[in-house]
Amino acid sequence: MPSLLYLLSVAAVIVPLQSSRQPIMNKYHNLYGNNMSGHDLTNIFGFGIGVLNFLQQGQHYLNQEVPDMVPQFGAMYDFVVIGAGTAGATIAARLSEIHQVEVLLIEAGTKENFLMDIPLLVHMLQLSNDINWKYQTKSSNKYCLGMEGNRCNWPRGKVMGGSSVLNYMIATRGGAEDYDRWAKMGNEGWAYKDVLKYFKKLETIDIPELQSDTTYHGTKGPLHISYPIFHTPLAKAFLDAGKELGYPLLDYNGKNMIGFSYAQSTLINGTRMSSNRAYLHPARNRRNLHVTRESKVKKILIDRHTNRAIGVEFIKHRRIIRVFASKEIILCAGAIGSPQLLMLSGIGPAKHLSELGINVVRDLPVGENLMDHVAFGDLTWTIDEPVSIRLNDMINPTYPYMKDFLMRQLGPLTVPGACEALAFIDTKHSTKLHGLPDIELLFIGGGLKGEIILPTVMGLNNAIRQMWNKYTTTYGWTILPMLLKPKSRGWIRLLANDINVKPEIVPNYFDNPEDVKTMINGIKAAISVGQTEAMKLYNSRLINDTLPTCKNYKYDSYDYWECAMRTTSLTIYHYSGTCKMGSKEDPTAVVDPRLKVIGVQGLRVADGSIMPEIISAHTNVPIFMIAEKLADMVKEDWGYLNKSDTGRHAKNNRSIATRYKRCNTLYSMRTLWLFIIIVTTSSAHNFLDIVKNYIHSFGKEEKFTSNSKYDFIIVGAGSSGSVLANRLSENKKWKILLLEAGYMPNFLNRIPIFVGYFQLTGYNWGYNVEPQKNACLGMVNRQCSWPRGRGLGGTSILNYMIHTRGNKLDYDKWASLGNVGWSYTDVLPYFKKSERFNIPGFKNSSYHNENGYLYVEHVPYHTKLATAFLNAGQELEYKIVDYNGQDQKGFSYIQVNIGHGKRCTGATAYLEQINRPNLEIITGARVTKILIDADKRAYGVEYIKDTVWKKVTCSKEVLLSAGTIDSAKLLMLSGIGPKEHLEELNIPVIQDSKVGYSMYEHVGFLGLTFMVNQSESLLQNRLVFNPNVFLEYLLYKRGPITIPGGAEALAFISTKYASDKRPDVELLFVSGSLHSDNGQVLKKILRISDDLYDTVYKPIEEQDAWSIWPIVQHPRSVGRLTLQSKDPFKPPKMDPNFFSHSADIEIILEGIKHAINISKTKTFQAYGSRLHDLKIPGCKRFEFASDDYWRCAIKHLPSMMNHEIGTVKMGPQTDTYAVVDPQLRVYGIKALRVVDASIMPMIPNGHVNAGIYMIGEKAADMIKESWKSEW
Q: How much is the average pLDDT of 390-396?
A: 82
- Give yes or no for residue 691 having a pLDDT over 80: no
User: What are the contacts of 510-516 at 24+ separation with CB within 8 A?
Assistant: 510/142, 510/143, 510/374, 510/562, 510/565, 510/566, 510/569, 511/142, 512/486, 512/487, 512/488, 512/947, 513/1127, 513/1129, 514/487, 514/1129, 515/483, 515/486, 515/487, 515/488, 516/562, 516/565
What per-residue confidence (pLDDT) applies to 594? 98
Residues 1047 and 915 in one domain: no
Which among 574, 618, 862, 1247 is annotated as catalytic? 574
Output the CA–CA distances (angstroms, integers) from residue 392 to 22, 27, 380, 398, 950, in the order listed.
11, 11, 18, 11, 53
% of the chain with per-residue pLDDT over 70: 90
- Give yes or no for residue 55 having a pLDDT over 80: no
Instruction: List all residues 6 or more positions away from 1157 whose beta carbon is below 8 Å from its beta carbon.
Output: 876
Instruction: List all residues 6 or more positions away from 272 whose beta carbon is below 8 Å from its beta carbon.
Output: 116, 117, 118, 119, 122, 165, 169, 266, 416
DSSP string, 174-193: --HHHHHHHHHTT-TT-SHH
- Would 460 be classed as within a structural domain? no
What per-residue confidence (pLDDT) applies to 658? 29
What per-residue confidence (pLDDT) applies to 402? 82
Instruction: List all residues 6 or more positions away from 466 whose beta carbon is below 8 Å from its beta carbon.
Output: none
Helical packing angle, 233-244 and 513-530, nearest 10°: 110
If you ran DSSP here, which 8-state letter would residue 34 be given? S
574 in catalytic set? yes
Domain count, the chain: 2
What per-residue confidence (pLDDT) applies to 10? 40
- Would 108 be classed as within a structural domain? no
139-148, 681-690, 835-844, 1020-1029: which range is least confident on average? 681-690
Output the CA–CA distances (angstroms, integers) from residue 43 to 12, 33, 396, 399, 1105, in the order listed.
11, 16, 9, 6, 69
Nearest-CA neighbor of 1096 among 1153, 1168, 1177? 1177
Q: Are 1262 and 816 in contact (CB under 8 A)?
A: no
- Would 370 be classed as within a structural domain? no
- Would 687 be classed as within a structural domain? no
- Give yes or no for residue 58 having a pLDDT over 60: yes
What per-residue confidence (pLDDT) applies to 221? 96
If you ran DSSP here, which 8-state letter would residue 276 be given? I
What per-residue confidence (pLDDT) applies to 123? 87
Output the CA–CA distances (angstroms, integers) from residue 1056 to 1065, 1146, 1242, 1246, in the order listed.
11, 10, 21, 19
Instruction: List all residues 6 or more positions away from 816 whose beta carbon is below 8 Å from its beta carbon.
Output: none
The CATH number of residue 760's host domain is 3.30.560.10
Residues 803 and 945 in one domain: yes
What per-residue confidence (pLDDT) applies to 699? 45
pLDDT band for 371, please (50, 70, 90 cuts).
Answer: very high
Residues 1190 and 1211 in one domain: no
Residues 1120 and 1262 in one domain: no
Q: Assign residue 1267 a region (left: φ > 0; alpha: ψ between -120 and 50; beta: otherwise).
A: alpha
Instruction: List all residues 6 or more positions away from 498 whose beta carbon is below 8 Å from its beta carbon.
Output: none
The CATH number of residue 798's host domain is 3.50.50.60
400-404, 499-503, 942-946: which range is least confident on average? 400-404
Handedness of CA 126, 130, 131, 137 (dihedral sign): positive
What per-residue confidence (pLDDT) applies to 1123? 98
CA–CA dist 1103, 1097 (Å, integer): 10
Output the CA–CA distances (angstroms, integers) from residue 1247 to 1003, 1012, 1069, 1243, in the order listed.
11, 28, 14, 9
**Considering 1205, 1221, 1248, which residue would you say is the last residue of a domain?**
1205
DSSP string, 379-417: -EEEESSS-S--HHHHT-TTSSHHHHHHHHS-SGGGSGG
Residues 1079 and 1200 in one domain: yes
- DSSP-assigned beta bridge partners for residue 375: 482, 570
Q: Are 502 and 135 in contact (CB under 8 A)?
A: yes
- Give yes or no for residue 297 having a pLDDT over 60: yes
**Considering 1205, 1232, 1251, which residue would you say is the last residue of a domain?**
1205
If you ran DSSP here, which 8-state letter would residue 349 be given? -
What per-residue confidence (pLDDT) applies to 408? 79
HSE of 601, CA atoms in CB hemisphere, 13 A:
9
Nearest-CA neighbor of 750 among 412, 1033, 327, 400? 1033
Note down the domain range covering 811. Answer: 716-745+791-854+903-998+1206-1270
Output the CA–CA distances (angstroms, integers) from residue 1054 to 566, 688, 808, 1065, 1245, in the order listed.
61, 47, 15, 6, 12
- Average pLDDT over the chain, rounded to whole? 90
**Considering 1205, 1237, 1256, which residue would you say is the last residue of a domain?**
1205
DSSP H/E element including 502: none
Kindly report the length of the chain.
Answer: 1271
Output the CA–CA distances (angstroms, integers) from residue 935 to 534, 747, 939, 1231, in the order listed.
61, 45, 10, 11
Burial group, residue 949, by CB count within 10 angstroms (0-12, 13-18, 19+): exposed
Angle at 654 between CA 650 and CA 655, to 5 degrees: 140
pLDDT band for 805, please (50, 70, 90 cuts).
Answer: very high
Residues 934 and 1048 in one domain: no
- Would 834 be classed as within a structural domain? yes
Q: Are 1052 and 1245 in contact (CB under 8 A)?
A: yes
Residues 1160 and 1018 in one domain: yes
- Would 821 be classed as within a structural domain? yes
Residues 724 and 814 in one domain: yes
- Give yes or no for residue 689 having a pLDDT over 70: no
HSE of 398, CA atoms in CB hemisphere, 13 A:
18
pLDDT band for 56, please (50, 70, 90 cuts).
Answer: low
Residues 1017 and 1086 in one domain: yes
CA–CA dist 706, 694 (Å, integer): 25
pLDDT band for 660, please (50, 70, 90 cuts).
Answer: very low
The runs of H, that is alpha helices, within 607-718 are 620-637, 656-663, 672-680, 683-695
- Would 1252 be classed as within a structural domain? yes
What per-residue confidence (pLDDT) applies to 665? 32
Q: Which residue has the higher pLDDT, 391 or 107?
A: 107
What per-residue confidence (pLDDT) applies to 406? 82
Nearest-CA neighbor of 959 among 737, 762, 775? 737
Report, in angstroms and rounded to the nearest whole number, the Rg of the chain calculated over CA atoms. Answer: 33
What per-residue confidence (pLDDT) applies to 13? 39
C-alpha of 913 from chain center: 29
Residues 971 and 1074 in one domain: no
pLDDT tens readout for residues 397-416: 778 888 888 877 888 999 99
The runs of H, that is alpha helices, within 993-1142 are 1020-1024, 1027-1036, 1082-1085, 1090-1096
Residues 847 and 982 in one domain: yes
Phi, psi of 978 (to 5 degrees): -60, 120
Q: Assign residue 776 a region (left: φ > 0; alpha: ψ between -120 and 50; beta: otherwise).
A: left
CA–CA dist 596, 614 (Å, integer): 20
DSSP string, 930-980: EEE-TTSBEEEEEEEETTEEEEEEEEEEEEE-SHHHHHHHHHHHTTEE-HH
CA–CA dist 763, 783 (Å, integer): 20
What per-residue confidence (pLDDT) applies to 511? 96
Nearest-CA neighbor of 869 among 1145, 1072, 663? 1072
What per-residue confidence (pLDDT) applies to 394? 82
- Give yes or no for residue 707 having a pLDDT over 60: no
- Give yes or no for residue 653 having a pLDDT over 60: no
Residues 1129 and 1216 in one domain: no
Burial group, residue 1178, by CB count within 10 angstroms (0-12, 13-18, 19+): middle
Instruction: List all residues 6 or more positions away from 507 whose beta carbon is below 8 Å from its beta carbon.
Output: 137, 143, 152, 370, 372, 374, 488, 490, 571
- Would 849 be classed as within a structural domain? yes
